Amino acid sequence: MDALQPSVQLQQPEPPAGQSGPEPPRPEAAGLRIVRWLGSGASASVWLAAAEDGTEYALKVFTGPDGARGSAGGSGADGEQVLLAGVEHEHLVQAYRQVATSLGPGLLLTFAAGGSLAGLVAARGPLSTGETVTVLTPLGQVLAFLHAQGIAHGDVSPGNVLFTAAGKPLLADLAAGQVAGSAPVRPAATPGFHPGTEAAGPAADVYALAALGWYALTGRVPAATQARPPLGILCPGVPAELAEVLEEGLDDSPAARPAAAEFARRVYRCAAAEPVDLAAAVHPSVVPQLLTRRRPDQRERSGRRRSVPPEPAGAGRTRAGRPRPDLGRLLLAGTALTAGLGLVAALLGMLAGGPGPGAGAAPAAGPAASPGPARPAGRPVPGRISAALASKDPVAALSGLAWLRTEAIRMRSTTLLQDVNVAGSAAMEADRRIMAALLDQDHWFSGLDATVQKAELVAASDTEAEVFAVVSTSAFQEHSAASGLVREVAGPKQQQLTLRLEQSGGRWLVSAVLPPPDPAED
């Protein structure tokens, strides 16, 4: 203990945001059924609300003195919706519309069934290095996106980091946000997650993100610089590179902190991302929906480095000195692997130089081409897919894996891939190359879907299985942030595949996609 000087303080975390204290009065709103209370803050309470069609939302009811009042940099329903208007990102909670409630103005938001980082750490303790990488990398990306729009978040804190049931982190609560050009203010940020009296801005957001990383790894709010012990003392297994970027983010000088995009890139290089285990912290009704659980073969792997770190979404640049990869060629590299779950059946038209035989792909028209939709948002996991993923039958599990892999590619989510492929397998490496290319070029797909039309068990043991499947892939479009619609691929298309599955953590995952049978062989 000699390394800990008397002046060093191990600061305890603030009480987590959420369901602390008695449940507040339940609101009423036309067309919405209030299911349960999710939590409360200083100026609002949040409720799970179901629309008449069954869609679930988070209903944020503002109860503070400002109520609906606010500006682009103010509080209340108006302020938050103004900041969110036209700002969409896959890791940002989306605001849909304002609603009138019996208790005051409300705002309908994305419902994040996985709860908050504050609730997670309170329920099960600190996160692993890999889980922390999973949380920090996309948060750095979404902050870089906001900063490019001239918006600072203003309160990046554990209570404002939410998770979907698939384990995807979302940044919530832009009510404290600051728009570039408005009078600088020191927001009412969560204690310990804002640098002293510094005004809100991109540098203050990076400080908060670094403090969030410290909190995730230690369960503690970082103390002031002079009283903060080295992270390696509290967490001996944390890679030195991760400790270094967190310390830089916590620097007292705003100019010394990395930009959010650079922070995300450096964190991603430190260690392999791992699914965030949410089971201990979610409401019992959510547990069956969870896709992320800690598996015995996914323990701490802090020594493993990423060889192909992605650029944050929207960057659209390649790393210095390296040519831009050809997405079509990467998608088709090693057809037996990248054909996994039917995707390449529809991607045959994506080779450079035009469509392949029978692909039906048409390049987008020149300058007049439609820019296409925004980057796709996440979808709720259907109940039939959750049941398939949990099935002990490899044939039944395959339909769930096909849906989830398509969703991972559609969302460009490496986190979801970890619930599709065996870690370190050939199938995983092939999918990671696809993901790296999508992120590097800032391309994405719309309309992409894959369904298993037929599946038969070829061979099986208690831990391994081979399944023959006929997979159908829909028509889809490829989009680019830089040039809009890139190409359209006709569908539906079918492909015959044999997939090798392995048991991992009580579930079937894909380890390899085998070449289709040779018609010449009897």
DSSP state of 362: E
The verdict on residue 22 lying in a domain is: yes
- Domain presence at residue 295: yes
Q: Are 304 and 272 in contact (CB under 8 A)?
A: yes
Is-contact 501 489, C-beta < 8 A? no
User: Out of 323-332, 342-351, 400-409, 506-515, which region has the weakest mean confidence (pLDDT)?
Assistant: 342-351
CATH classification of the domain holding 149: 1.10.510.10
Percentage, residues of the chain above pLDDT 70: 68
Assess whether 397 and 464 both reside in one domain: yes
Strand pairing category for 507-514 and 95-101: unpaired
pLDDT at 143: 94
Confidence label for 490 from pLDDT (cuts 50, 70 and 90): confident
pLDDT at position 435 over 90: no
How sure is the predictor about 354, in pLDDT bands with cuts at 50, 70 and 90?
Answer: very low
Task: Quote the pLDDT of residue 481.
Answer: 80
- The answer to whether residues 121 and 247 belong to one domain is yes
Whether pLDDT at 255 is above 60: yes
Residue with tokens 């800690």: 294
150-173 average pLDDT score: 89
Looking at the chain, the whole-number percentage of residues with pLDDT higher than 90 is 25
Answer yes or no: is pLDDT of 193 > 70. yes
Amino acid letter, 33: R
Residue by residue, DSSP assigns 365-412 as: PSTTS---PPSPPP-PPPHHHHHHHT-S-HHHHHHHHHHHHHHHHHHT
Residues 291 and 196 in one domain: yes
Q: How far is CA 334 from CA 182, 494, 514, in A?
A: 53, 18, 10
Range of lowest pLDDT (80-89, 184-193, 354-363) = 354-363
pLDDT > 90? residue 362: no
pLDDT of residue 261: 93
Q: Residue 22's pLDDT band (boundaries 50, 70, 90)? A: confident
Same domain, 354 and 476: yes
Question: Is the Cβ–Cβ distance between 300 and 126 less than 8 Å?
Answer: no
Tens-place pLDDT, residues 38-79: 887 667 889 999 888 888 888 989 875 544 433 334 445 555
Instruction: Quote the CA–CA distance of 276 and 279 in Å, as a whole number.
Output: 9
422 in any annotated domain: yes
Q: Is 1 a domain residue? A: no
Arithmetic mean of pLDDT over the chain: 74
Q: How many domains are contained in the chain?
A: 2
Assess whether 252 and 112 both reside in one domain: yes
Last residue of a domain, one of 315, 350, 385: 315
Q: Give the pLDDT score at 433.
A: 81
More confident residue, 199 or 352: 199
pLDDT in tens, 113-160: 888 999 899 988 999 999 999 999 999 999 999 999 888 988 899 988
The separation between the first and the last C-alpha atoms of the chain, rounded to the nearest angstrom, is: 71
Same-domain pairing of 116 and 183? yes
For residues 256 and 151, membership in a common domain is answered with yes
Q: Rounded to an integer, what distance in angstroms lies between the CA atom of residue 179 and that of residue 153?
A: 9
Pick the residue with more confidence: 149 or 88? 149
**Domain termination site, one of 315, 337, 360:** 315
Q: How confident is the model at residue 478 (pLDDT cuts 50, 70, 90)?
A: confident
**Full residue range of the structural domain in which residue 344 is found:** 327-514
392 labeled binding residue: no
Q: What is the pLDDT of residue 33?
A: 92
Question: For position 480, which CATH number holds?
Answer: 3.10.450
**What are the helix (H) ranges across 219-308?**
231-234, 240-249, 260-270
Instruction: Give residue 369's pLDDT.
Output: 41
Last residue of a domain, one of 286, 315, 344: 315
pLDDT surpasses 60 at 110: yes
